Copies of this chain bind each other. A is one copy, B any other.
Amino acid sequence: MSRKIRMGMVGGGRGAFIGAVHRMASALDGEIELVCGAFSSDPEKSKASGADFYLSPDRVYGSYAEMIEKEKALPEDVRMDFVSIVTPNHVHYGPAKMALENGFHVVCDKPLCFDMEEARDLERLVEETGLIFALTHNYTGYPMVKQARNMVANGTIGEVRKVVVEYPQGWLSTKLEDSEQKQASWRTDPKRSGIAGSMGDIGTHAENLAEYITGLQIKEMCADLTIFVPGRLLDDDGNVLLRFENGAKGILFASQISAGEENNLRIRIYGTKAGLEWHQQEPNSLQVKWLDRPMEILRTGVGDLAAAAQAHTRLPAGHPEGYLEAFANIYRNFAKHVQARLAGKDPDPVYDFPTVSDGVRGMQFIIKVVESSGTEQKWLSFE
């Protein structure tokens, strides 16, 4: 008999941003149930958070290790099915590895982990265990992103020539990390964030989005990263020239000092027949610019969209779906895969999500973009 999938969460206690996002996203479609968690490295905080979420106190743990061990010991029809990891970057690898080694599927926030060694290790573990691993590059969950990917794959816009992907934010324009701001604090700290700041936090989203929609891999890059805010330790801005495997050229920029920008992820893709443009802040529209006829605005829920777009839409046209719905699509699709596994069936490929391999690629992007910025060599290979 089919049932809800049971989630245990690592991180995401009181005051966290992304933990709440994961909880809402996982709850939206009624396919996943939060049953346990290790919400903080401070057991008291973890308990308090568990109470906030109406969990039974005996399912709220003081550490991820305790959670994995104790859940594993519970009867099969009670214990969690998967671990959702929503901690800062430096605490991705540990719980992911342990979860996989103990037979739990994993949903992990991005970037995958802290360095390439960890990344490769997780990739290996996923392969060996055959467990299901989703990385929450949530922007690929939007219906109009699915539509765009489909139009490129179908040849609707012809051969891709140019990609412009940008992700400006402004919230780190001042030295916010000197205040109590928790989000700013860990993101600008090399010990918790890794070797990159804005490039790791949001540049990887841009990279992932560009490759997801175009179906093309970046082959070479030329980067110029900057620390604009005095005293900051990691890049808060970066401009990158790209070359794709098919000869397409590109620009990627990510910035957290673009004053006044909110979360303005945008992508434009120009092919031989048409151009596509999508803005995350108005995610239900996809502009299609034709060579010599009027521009079309594709809208979620309107007309004959690709099956993949329709499968990721919950509402009729004009009922805006946003960030949480896109994020929920990752969780819903993950749940579909787990349910298929439980039922011994193959999952429907329309329910896709970013995997550990996307995470490895993201780590590689971070490493190479930092390396490129530090060298006088113009072009650096992605590999």
Instruction: Please report which residues of chain A, range 197-250, place their CB below 8 angstroms from some CB of chain B when the two chains form the complex.
Output: 222, 224, 226, 228, 237, 239, 241, 243, 249-250
Q: How far is the CA of A296 from the CA of B295 in the complex (A)?
A: 6
Q: How many copies of this kind of chain does the complex include?
A: 4
Name A265's closest neighbour in chain B (CB-CB): B318
Cβ of B222 and Cβ of A251 under 8 Å apart? no
How far in angstroms is the closest Cβ of chain B from A230? Answer: 11
Contact (Cβ within 8 A) A263 B316: yes
Q: Is the CB of B318 within 8 A of A169?
A: yes
A88 to chain B, nearest CB (A): 17
Task: Known contacts A27-B30, A293-B304; decide if A324 and B325 are in contact (CB<8 Å).
Answer: yes
Query: Is the CB–CB distance between A275 and B258 below 8 Å?
Result: yes
- Please report whether the interface of chain A is mostly helix, strand, loop or mixed according to DSSP: loop
Question: How close is A327's CB to chain B, nearest CB, in angstroms?
Answer: 9
A341 is an interface residue with CB less than 8 A from chain B: no
Min Cβ gap A33→B in Å is 9
In A308-351, the 8 Å CB interface with B consists of 314-325
A284 contact set on B, CB distance < 8 A: 281
Q: Complex Cα distance A291/B175, Å? A: 13
Can you sample 24 A-B contacts with CB below 8 Å?
A: A3-B54, A157-B259, A161-B237, A168-B268, A170-B270, A170-B275, A174-B291, A222-B224, A222-B241, A222-B378, A239-B241, A257-B270, A259-B273, A259-B274, A260-B274, A262-B301, A263-B317, A281-B320, A293-B303, A293-B304, A295-B296, A319-B323, A321-B323, A377-B378
